[in-house]
Protein backbone atom coordinates (compact mmCIF):
# COMPACT_ATOMS: atom_id res chain seq x y z
CA UNK A 1 0.00 0.00 0.00
CA UNK A 2 1.38 3.38 -1.00
CA UNK A 3 1.73 6.20 1.50
CA UNK A 4 1.03 8.71 -1.29
CA UNK A 5 -2.51 10.07 -0.95
CA UNK A 6 -2.55 13.08 -3.31
CA UNK A 7 -0.94 14.10 -6.59
CA UNK A 8 -0.75 17.15 -8.81
CA UNK A 9 -1.04 16.48 -12.55
CA UNK A 10 0.30 19.24 -14.78
CA UNK A 11 -1.49 19.61 -18.10
CA UNK A 12 -5.18 19.39 -18.83
CA UNK A 13 -5.09 18.01 -22.37
CA UNK A 14 -5.89 14.33 -22.86
CA UNK A 15 -3.01 12.84 -20.88
CA UNK A 16 -3.57 14.92 -17.74
CA UNK A 17 -7.17 13.87 -17.04
CA UNK A 18 -6.40 10.28 -18.11
CA UNK A 19 -3.50 10.22 -15.64
CA UNK A 20 -5.77 11.61 -12.92
CA UNK A 21 -8.25 8.80 -13.60
CA UNK A 22 -5.49 6.19 -13.31
CA UNK A 23 -4.23 7.71 -10.06
CA UNK A 24 -7.75 7.72 -8.62
CA UNK A 25 -8.13 4.03 -9.47
CA UNK A 26 -4.94 3.50 -7.45
CA UNK A 27 -6.46 5.35 -4.48
CA UNK A 28 -4.58 8.62 -5.01
CA UNK A 29 -6.60 11.84 -5.20
CA UNK A 30 -5.33 13.82 -8.19
CA UNK A 31 -5.83 17.44 -9.16
CA UNK A 32 -5.22 18.47 -12.78
CA UNK A 33 -3.59 21.87 -13.25
CA UNK A 34 -3.79 23.64 -16.61
CA UNK A 35 -2.09 26.85 -17.77
CA UNK A 36 -5.06 27.98 -19.84
CA UNK A 37 -8.21 29.37 -18.24
CA UNK A 38 -10.46 27.32 -20.51
CA UNK A 39 -10.42 23.66 -21.44
CA UNK A 40 -9.48 22.14 -24.80
CA UNK A 41 -13.03 20.94 -25.41
CA UNK A 42 -13.85 21.05 -29.11
CA UNK A 43 -10.25 21.61 -30.24
CA UNK A 44 -8.08 19.46 -32.47
CA UNK A 45 -8.37 17.16 -35.45
CA UNK A 46 -8.12 13.42 -35.77
CA UNK A 47 -5.63 11.19 -34.01
CA UNK A 48 -4.75 7.53 -34.04
CA UNK A 49 -4.64 5.53 -30.81
CA UNK A 50 -2.54 2.36 -30.88
CA UNK A 51 -3.67 -0.89 -29.21
CA UNK A 52 -1.66 -0.20 -26.03
CA UNK A 53 -3.29 3.23 -25.74
CA UNK A 54 -6.73 1.68 -26.23
CA UNK A 55 -5.94 -0.79 -23.44
CA UNK A 56 -4.87 2.05 -21.14
CA UNK A 57 -8.12 3.89 -21.86
CA UNK A 58 -10.03 0.73 -20.99
CA UNK A 59 -8.17 0.40 -17.67
CA UNK A 60 -9.17 3.93 -16.62
CA UNK A 61 -12.75 3.45 -17.83
CA UNK A 62 -12.69 5.82 -20.78
CA UNK A 63 -13.43 3.18 -23.42
CA UNK A 64 -17.23 3.38 -22.96
CA UNK A 65 -18.70 5.74 -25.53
CA UNK A 66 -15.45 5.96 -27.47
CA UNK A 67 -16.29 5.95 -31.17
CA UNK A 68 -13.15 5.23 -33.14
CA UNK A 69 -12.71 3.86 -36.64
CA UNK A 70 -10.46 0.77 -36.78
CA UNK A 71 -7.44 1.34 -39.00
CA UNK A 72 -5.02 -1.33 -40.17
CA UNK A 73 -2.57 0.95 -41.97
CA UNK A 74 -1.71 4.65 -41.97
CA UNK A 75 0.07 6.51 -44.75
CA UNK A 76 1.51 9.95 -43.97
CA UNK A 77 1.93 12.48 -46.78
CA UNK A 78 3.18 16.03 -47.00
CA UNK A 79 1.13 19.01 -48.16
CA UNK A 80 1.70 18.05 -51.80
CA UNK A 81 0.52 14.47 -51.33
CA UNK A 82 4.02 12.93 -51.42
CA UNK A 83 4.34 9.84 -49.25
CA UNK A 84 6.49 10.43 -46.17
CA UNK A 85 5.92 7.17 -44.34
CA UNK A 86 3.62 4.26 -43.76
CA UNK A 87 2.66 2.49 -40.54
CA UNK A 88 1.22 -0.99 -40.72
CA UNK A 89 -0.89 -2.61 -38.03
CA UNK A 90 0.79 -4.66 -35.34
CA UNK A 91 0.68 -8.42 -35.91
CA UNK A 92 -1.42 -10.25 -33.35
CA UNK A 93 -2.96 -7.10 -31.88
CA UNK A 94 -6.28 -5.40 -32.55
CA UNK A 95 -6.17 -2.51 -35.00
CA UNK A 96 -5.39 1.03 -33.94
CA UNK A 97 -8.34 3.40 -33.98
CA UNK A 98 -8.69 6.84 -35.50
CA UNK A 99 -10.94 9.24 -33.63
CA UNK A 100 -11.65 12.90 -33.14
CA UNK A 101 -9.36 14.38 -30.51
CA UNK A 102 -12.26 16.42 -29.12
CA UNK A 103 -14.30 13.25 -28.52
CA UNK A 104 -11.46 11.56 -26.64
CA UNK A 105 -10.77 14.73 -24.66
CA UNK A 106 -14.43 15.03 -23.70
CA UNK A 107 -14.45 11.47 -22.31
CA UNK A 108 -11.19 11.94 -20.39
CA UNK A 109 -12.16 15.32 -18.97
CA UNK A 110 -15.78 14.52 -18.10
CA UNK A 111 -17.03 14.14 -14.54
CA UNK A 112 -15.45 13.15 -12.14
CA UNK A 113 -12.08 14.29 -13.57
CA UNK A 114 -13.48 17.76 -14.26
CA UNK A 115 -14.25 18.10 -10.55
CA UNK A 116 -10.51 18.22 -9.89
CA UNK A 117 -9.62 20.43 -12.87
CA UNK A 118 -7.89 23.61 -11.71
CA UNK A 119 -6.88 26.22 -14.30
CA UNK A 120 -3.68 27.93 -13.21
CA UNK A 121 -3.86 31.69 -12.75
CA UNK A 122 -1.09 34.23 -12.38
CA UNK A 123 -1.88 34.62 -8.70
CA UNK A 124 -2.30 30.93 -7.98
| Residue 122, pLDDT score | 44
pLDDT of the residue at 58: 86
pLDDT per position in the chain (124 positions), as tens? 568 899 999 988 888 888 988 898 888 999 888 888 777 777 788 888 889 988 888 888 887 777 789 998 889 999 999 999 998 888 899 999 999 988 888 888 775 544 455 555 444 4
Question: What pLDDT does 82 receive?
Answer: 96
pLDDT computed for residue 77 by the predictor:
94
User: Is there a contact between 122 and 26 (Cβ–Cβ < 8 Å)?
Assistant: no
Q: How many helices (H) and strands (E) does the chain have?
A: 3, 8
Q: How far apart are CA 106 and CA 114, in angstroms?
A: 10
Amino acid sequence: MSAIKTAAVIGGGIAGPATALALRRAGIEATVHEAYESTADGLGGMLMVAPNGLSALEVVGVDHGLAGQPIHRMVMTDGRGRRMGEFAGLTGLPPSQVMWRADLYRLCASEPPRQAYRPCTESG
